[in-house]
Amino acid sequence: MKIINVVGARPNFMKIAPLMAEYKKHNAIQPLLVHTGQHYDEKMSDFFFRQLGIPQPDINLEIGSGSHAVQTAEIMKAFEPVCLEHKPDVVLVVGDVNSTIACGLVAVKLGIKLVHVEAGLRSGDRSMPEEINRILTDSISSLLFCTEQSGVDNLLAEGISEDKIFLVGNVMIDTLLKNRAEAEKSNILNRLNLNSDGFTVLTLHRPANVDDKETFIQILDALEVIQVDMPIVFPVHPRTRNNLSSSFLGRRMKQLPNLCLIDPLGYLDFLKLMSCASLVLTDSGGIQEETTVLKIPCITLRENTERPVTVEIGSNQIVGTDTEKIIEAYKLAVSGNWHESQIPPLWDGKAAQRIVKIMLEIFSS
Ligand code: UD1
């Protein structure tokens, strides 16, 4: 079975790593890895291949940045000849980025079976580009692998047939559990002069937060108050960096003495940083899941989540972007009265194993 595996943007790399490792145990599978080049900075891409032991991509489409339409179209144009040349039996896509839908569309139009890993997640917010990518990718996939029960329920409610849907756990958590011991060795706390008195980790990159000045100011007002009490470490995503460099908000942020802006970190350093933090403030999807497994309070700076299990039983709380609400949640987290949390079912490090077993059973029969 020839499987083309697609990666494009940073969160895809942690998701594909355990699958690439699992394929090696099965002679029946011939994997190819295609990198669309959606993320191309060393710190957004190469770092992760090296640290996670992902084989070098067989093919790099080198698409780079662009508007949504341009990026999606360029990926499609470049991916179609790859499929025509290599004639895969299956194309496997992960997550919800533009590379996911672009390659998915190409595959199904060529009659190639499409597999979606991390299927069924829904925020209910169609203004998020990722939500559109999720809905469309799921609707054309032959096999849909879900991380949590809400994903299964959403797909059934959208009329997708039950025999295509499998609850398998979370490949991103496979990677976290596999690398946790190695991450412990990271000296990132020394490098950033952080001590055990507590610190907050911040990540921000969603267009709704960083492209909208009003919203960004609300968040910044909260950060200004929090950093007086506790240092904040902020690895800055390129999108956010671009926005900050051209605005007065960037200057204001740089003036806050306890807000430390740093370059994006590699996987192991970031995992160590999160696992030692008092709390995490984020608008990322994956970090809501990672903090749940690490049992670190996570304050999500969005109005919704496509990962409700992280709130229902995990350590996440959806707080939004209102200044007072962020400060209130921060106070609760540092008071030690954050809600008790548990790890969701099947987030046990074996998701990739389950996925490969099911693909072999279904596609070889
Ligand atoms: C993308 C995903 C988002 C994911 C995020 C993780 C989509 C629609 N969005 O958002 O779901 O959470 O990746 O990081 O696919 N840039 C660089 N260097 C890079 C990559 C990007 O400088 O290596 C800059 C460019 O200015 C680019 C901007 O960041 O225009 C945004 O990059 P893009 O891939 O379009 O979306 P992300 O915001 O990274």
Rounded to 5 degrees, φ, ψ at 212 are -110, 110
**Which pLDDT value is given to residue 130?**
98
Range 239-246, long-range pairs (CB < 8 A, 24+ positions) = 239/205, 239/207, 239/210, 240/204, 240/205, 240/210, 243/210, 243/211, 243/216
Say if residues 52 and 179 touch (Cβ distance below 8 Å). Answer: yes
H or E segment and range at residue 117: strand 113-117
Q: Length of the chain, please?
A: 365
Q: Is 38 in the pocket of ligand 1 (CB under 6 A)?
A: yes
Q: Is 97 in the pocket of ligand 1 (CB under 6 A)?
A: yes
Dihedral sign of CA atoms 286, 282, 103, 266 in order: negative
Residue nearest to atom 2 of ligand 1 (CA): 97
End-to-end CA distance of the chain: 12
For the stretch 87-112, pLDDT in tens is 999 999 999 999 999 999 999 999 99
Among 14, 35, 38, say which to mutate for ligand 1: greatest number of ligand atoms within 8 Å of CB.
Answer: 38
Q: Is 132 in the pocket of ligand 1 (CB under 6 A)?
A: no
The mean pLDDT of 67-73, rounded to a whole number, is 98
Cross-strand pairs, 31: 3
**Which pLDDT value is given to residue 245?**
87
Q: Is 130 in the pocket of ligand 1 (CB under 6 A)?
A: yes
Annotated catalytic residues are 205
Longest dimension (CA), the chain: 62
Q: Is 39 in the pocket of ligand 1 (CB under 6 A)?
A: yes
Whether this model's pTM surpasses 0.95: yes
Nearest to 168 by CA among 147, 151, 154, 149: 147
Residue nearest to atom 19 of ligand 1 (CA): 39
**Which pLDDT value is given to residue 249?**
87
Annotate 211-229 with b (16+ C-beta within 10 A) or e (fewer): eeeebbebbbbbbbebbee
Q: Is 238 in the pocket of ligand 1 (CB under 6 A)?
A: yes
Residue carrying structure tokens 């203004």:
127
User: Taking the CB of residue 265, how many other CB atoms lie within 10 A of it?
Assistant: 22
**Which pLDDT value is given to residue 246?**
80
Query: What angle in degrees, to the nearest 10, is found between the helix axes of 323-334 and 213-229?
Result: 30
Residue carrying structure tokens 């970190």:
265
CA of 206 relative to ligand 1 center, distance in Å: 9
336: left (phi over 0), alpha (psi -120 to 50) or beta: left
C-alpha 243/C-alpha 241 separation (Å) is 5
Q: Ligand 1 atom closest to Cα of 9? A: 13
Q: Is 350 in the pocket of ligand 1 (CB under 6 A)?
A: no
The mean pLDDT of 319-337, rounded to a whole number, is 97
Q: Ligand 1 atom closest to Cα of 97? A: 15
The mean pLDDT of 169-180, rounded to a whole number, is 98
DSSP classification of residue 7: E
Q: Ligand 1 atom closest to Cα of 129? A: 8
C-alpha 127/C-alpha 130 separation (Å) is 9
CA of 11 relative to ligand 1 center, distance in Å: 10
**364 pLDDT more than 90:** no
Nearest to 333 by CA among 261, 230, 256, 233: 230
**59 pLDDT more than 90:** yes
Cross-strand pairs, 262: 235
Write the burial class of residue 296 (CB in 10 Å: 0-12 exposed, 13-18 middle, 19+ buried): buried
Q: Which two tokens stand for residue 273?
A: 């940083």
**Which pLDDT value is given to residue 365?**
72
CA of 98 relative to ligand 1 center, distance in Å: 9
Q: Is 98 in the pocket of ligand 1 (CB under 6 A)?
A: yes
Residue nearest to atom 22 of ligand 1 (CA): 238
Residue carrying structure tokens 């959403």:
154
Please report which confidence band the pLDDT of residue 13 belongs to, taking 50, 70 and 90 as the band edges: very high
C-alpha 321/C-alpha 212 separation (Å) is 11
For the stretch 283-305, pLDDT in tens is 999 999 999 999 999 999 999 99
Among 76, 239, 284, say which to mutate for ligand 1: greatest number of ligand atoms within 8 Å of CB.
Answer: 239
Say if residues 91 and 4 touch (Cβ distance below 8 Å). Answer: yes
